[in-house]
Structure 1
Amino acid sequence: MDGFRLPPVIEEVLDASDDACEVKEEKPIMLAQTLMAKGRETLEEETVVEGEKGQQEEKMEMKEAESEEEEQGGMKDGEGEEEELEKFRFQMEQLLLELEETREVSQRHEENFMELQGVLEEERLASALQAESFTRQIQRLQAQLRSIQEEMNSLEEEKESELEEVQLELRSTQEEVLVLQQAAEEVAAERENDIASLQEELCRLRAELQRLHATAGAYEQEISTLRVEMSLKNDTSKQGQAAQLQDEFVSLTDECQTLTNSNKRLSNQVEHLQQKHDTCEDAYLAVRTEGQENTSSYISLSQSGPDLKDLDTSGVQDEVSILTFQLKQAEEMAQKVQKQCEGLKAELEELQHLYDRSQKQRASLETELQSCKAELHKLLEGRSKNCTRPSEPPVLSVPFIGLIVVVALIWCWWEELAS
């Protein structure tokens, strides 16, 4: 056990079990001592009782001797002797009562002694059972101790193996660190080369920035001129188109009105011819009724009537057919004019929609142009403020690309309006 030490928890358990064993071994010893002390006390009491009994017997003997001496010395007075006899009897009765009391006390002490002996036996049995349980606990703890020792040995072996693995990993990491240091040195050299190349690129970009500033000024001038031209062209083209469409609309409305008037006139003529046709048929019927009265006149009228009827009806039908044809042409013309009017209205609405959309695009382009101008202004201000810091590269892509996009949108819009 010198080279191997148990964990503190197991040592505390063993110490506690040893203390419990000592306490439980001391308990029967203390009980035996108390029982022995009680037995001694009972023996002393019995000896005291026996001594008292001896003293009482001695007193009785002394009293008997005195009574005998008094009897032998002379019995002077019979009454005195009787009184003494009564006294002796009374004393004998008291002594007998005391003797019975002492016997009862001795019996009670004997009973207590027997009870204490039974308790002592029970305590001995309990202590024996406790000793057996303690031995079992000790054996179980010893088995646990052996298993813990085996686990500790296995853990030590595992720790040794882990330490060996960690040492191997440490060596490998040290080698990797050396490799990384070499790589870092190479990267530092490459970075220095990159810094030199970036400085050259910075100088080139500065020159390009100056060129872009110049082109930006030129683009601004061109954009302003384009805006002026576009506004003028847009206003003139829109005004001309609106006036032309309005004139066409007025002419078409006039033509539609004339066609409706002619249609009404033709319909009135058709109604008039229809009325004439109805009157001719009425005259024919009247002549036919009159012919029934005179057969000769009926024959002449019936022979001449069909000629008149054929002439009148053929002329009326021709006029009606001509008028119906003209009416159909007028209706078709009115429908065509109506369709043209609707188409012109649709074109006018589409042109209005295109005009509104172009105005919106123009407003959006103006806002984008203002934002590009603001970005260029900020870029110029940043350039003027950061001119003393050459290490910071300027931001070139955002305003330049925005300017190109704005110019492309303006060009597309202009081509669309021109088309």
Structure 2
Amino acid sequence: MVMRLRFEKRLRTLQSSVQLCGVCCNKLTTKHLFSRISLSQGGRRRCLVIHIGNISSSQKNFPASQENGVDRKFPNVKAERQKPPWRILFFGTDDFSLHTLKVLHSNRQQLDYKLVDTLEVVTKQKCSVRRFAEVTGLVTHDWPISITPEKFDVGVLVSFGKLIPSKVINKFAYGILNIHPSLLPRWRGAAPIPHTVLNGDQETGVSIMQILPTRFDQGPIVKQVKLPVPPGCTTLELAQGLGEKGSQMILEVLSDLVSHLDNRVQQSTEGVTLAHKLSRTMAYINWESQTCQQIDQQYRALHELLPLRTEWNGKAVKLLDMIITEDDVETAAEVFFKTKHFSPGQPFYRKKSNKLYIRCKDGWVGFKSLILKKPMTAQDFDCGYLSKTLTYPDMKFTSVKNGLFQKDS
């Protein structure tokens, strides 16, 4: 009883000067004190007094989520590893991920606003990321990798293409951050940018999330920014803009990493779409079911990676250099064929513009060149396959189902 009265007097003294608990940084209360007394019995009264005593100036700077200089949400993180600069292990392979690696490397060399302490790279052989790392003298690792505990604070992953196991993720005090070029949960998967262009999205963005060991692109969102899709852009053009934006965003996250992680949110279960890996089948055109707009989107999404394809008399054809169709093509075709009725896949070489036009569901799409056994111009194709054929009006490019636009059947 005497002991309790002494501590109540001590508590009133502390409260009168608005003292805080040295452990949790909350205001002291009677209930708070007694709960600590029950933990401090057995001759450890002195320890309790220290616990509720005046806090030091360094402790006053700790947020409410920290205990004794260690963040309660990251209990294994030492006090000196709770602020930049960070020890980073970067995972990446392609040109899109190279944007971020260059920015991290540049920041590491700065004298002020330095967010990167050490920087090492995990990548594959013969790729743009490895070439840059070797030229700049960054330490590189092959996948799979064995990581020394407490060597790195956080991982940064961009276009790596490998599912990272928990035994690797757990070696990072703050986990691994993934820069993903879409507004997750839309376009989870390997090819979000081509699918954004392919489907005619008006809005896209960049999401930074913590990766999970069991599935791709489903981790909590740390930061997300929306961006408009530039009209008429291609996959590589959009990738350039999103890559630059993502590299800026990761610096913003690293500047206040703990706060961003504290405020991460789970992804919505609604609006989930999958951006599966690109395949050759996706490059084929279904002349009966696809509109001019859809073929334009297909071309802008794929042609820098996969040329559009069709078939001519059972032989594969690659269509190159797609152009915007002139307004008077329909009239010119009617004059040439002496009919207003055209079949999907029907070709029309227009000598005036030296372009090959092909009929689709709702109009004509044009190409300057193609590959049929060998590269050729539209005029070459006309001379070799159209003008010398008596059945020219009846010859057509063959449609191939590609599974795109959900109406392809």
TM-score band, normalised by shorter chain: under 0.3
Tell which structure's C-alpha radius of gyration is larger: 1
TM-score with structure 1 setting the length: 0.17
- TM-score, with length taken from structure 2: 0.17
Select the structure that is richer in strand.
Answer: 2
Structure scoring higher RCO (CA < 8 A, sep ≥ 6) equals: 1
More helix, by proportion: 1
